Chain A
Amino acid sequence: MKYVSKIPDGDINAPETNLIKDFIYWLLILLFIIIFIYISLGFLVDIIADRIPPEFESKLGYNYTKMFEGKKITTKEKKLQRLLDELVSKSDLNNRKFKVRILETKQINALAMPGGNIIVFSGLFKTIKSENQLSYVLSHELGHYAHKDHLRGMGRVLILSIIATILFGSDTFFNKSMSESLAGLQLKYTRSQEIKADIFAVDLLHKKYKNVAGITDLLEVFGKNEPVPKSLTFFTTHPHYTDRIKAINEYIKKRNYKVLKDKQIKYY
Chain B
Amino acid sequence: MNNENLAIMQVILNNLDIVFFIFLVFLGYISGTIAEKNHYKSIKKREEFLINIPIVNSGDFIEESKEIENIYFVSGSCVVALDYFKMVFAAIKQIFGGRIQSYETLIDRGRREAILRLKEKAAKKNVDIIINLRIETSSIGQNAGQKRGIGSVEVFAYATAISYKK
Contact = CB atoms under 8 A, between A and B. Distances in A.
B38 interface: no
Nearest to A12: B108
A22 B15 CA distance: 26
A236 B11 contact: yes
B69 interface: no
Contacts, number: 88
B92 A30 contact: yes
Secondary structure call for the B interface: helix
A21 to B, nearest CB: 11
Contact of A181 (B15, B85, B96, B101): B15
A167 B148 CA distance: 11
A26 B93 contact: yes
A104 interface: no
A256 interface: no
Given A19-B89, A228-B7, A229-B7, A26 B17 contact: no
Interface residues of B, number: 44
Contacts of A172: 91, 148-149
B54 A4 contact: yes
Interface in A1-48: 1-7, 11, 13-15, 17, 19-20, 22-23, 26-27, 29-30
Nearest to B96: A26
Interface string B85-102: 100110111011000011
B141 to A, nearest CB: 14
Contacts of B73: none
B89 to A, nearest CB: 5
A152 to B, nearest CB: 22
A7 B89 CA distance: 30
28 contacts: A1-B61, A1-B63, A3-B54, A5-B51, A6-B51, A7-B48, A11-B108, A13-B108, A14-B105, A15-B101, A17-B101, A19-B85, A19-B89, A19-B101, A19-B102, A23-B85, A23-B89, A23-B92, A168-B91, A168-B148, A177-B21, A181-B18, A228-B7, A228-B10, A229-B8, A232-B8, A235-B14, A236-B11
Given A5-B53, A30-B95, 4 more contacts: A1-B63, A19-B89, A227-B7, A236-B11
A144 B56 CA distance: 75
Nearest to A176: B17
B18 A29 contact: no
Nearest to A20: B29
Contact of A3 (B14, B47, B129): B129
Contacts of B149: 172-173
Contact of B92 (A1, A3, A13, A26): A26
A14 B108 contact: yes
A7 B51 contact: yes
B54 A5 contact: yes
Interface in B34-66: 47-48, 51-56, 60-61, 63
Interface in A111-139: none
